[in-house]
Amino acid sequence: MSMSDPIADMLTRIRNALRSRHKVVNVRASKICQGLCRVLKSEGYIDDFQRIEDQKQGMLRIYLKYGPMGEDVVTQVDRVSKPGCRVYKSVGDLPRPLNGLGVSIVSTSHGVLSDRECREKNVGGEVLAVVS
């Protein structure tokens, strides 16, 4: 079965695993999903991720993170740009979720970056997701 939106599938799997209090979730691997995981790890929303090779395209194993008392680190995960309606923003128009406490994940010419990294490098791009 072909998948038209692997990013939305990945975010939905993460959201469902967090609601079920799982420690680990597996998603199909792609370069864009690996970039999303790298940003989520650097911003402190997941513990770690690793690529698992198989006979097909591979899998990403994502180790989810919870607070010291078991509270959610990730409260909301939203897909912004969809295959039917792409959302592009310049560096000045990038969203600041929760006034900077959340993170917007942006696909740029420099790779997949957080909104903070976009402001440092002064680049805009396609807003993939918002995590808070």
**pLDDT tens digit string along 44-102?**
999 999 999 999 999 999 999 999 999 999 999 999 999 999 999 999 999 999 999 99
Distance separating alpha carbons of residues 87 and 18, to the nearest angstrom: 26
- Which pLDDT score is estimated for 2? 54
CA nearest to 100, candidates 119, 121, 80, 73? 119
**Rounded mean pLDDT, 4-9:** 94
CATH code of residue 106: 3.30.1490.10
1, part of any domain? no
**CB of 65 closer than 8 Å to CB of 46:** yes
- Which pLDDT score is estimated for 1? 46
Domain count, the chain: 1
pTM of the model: 0.94
Residues 11-36 pLDDT 10s = 999 999 999 999 999 999 999 999 99
Distance separating alpha carbons of residues 10 and 19, to the nearest angstrom: 14
13, part of any domain? yes
71's CB contacts (< 8 A; 6+ apart) are none
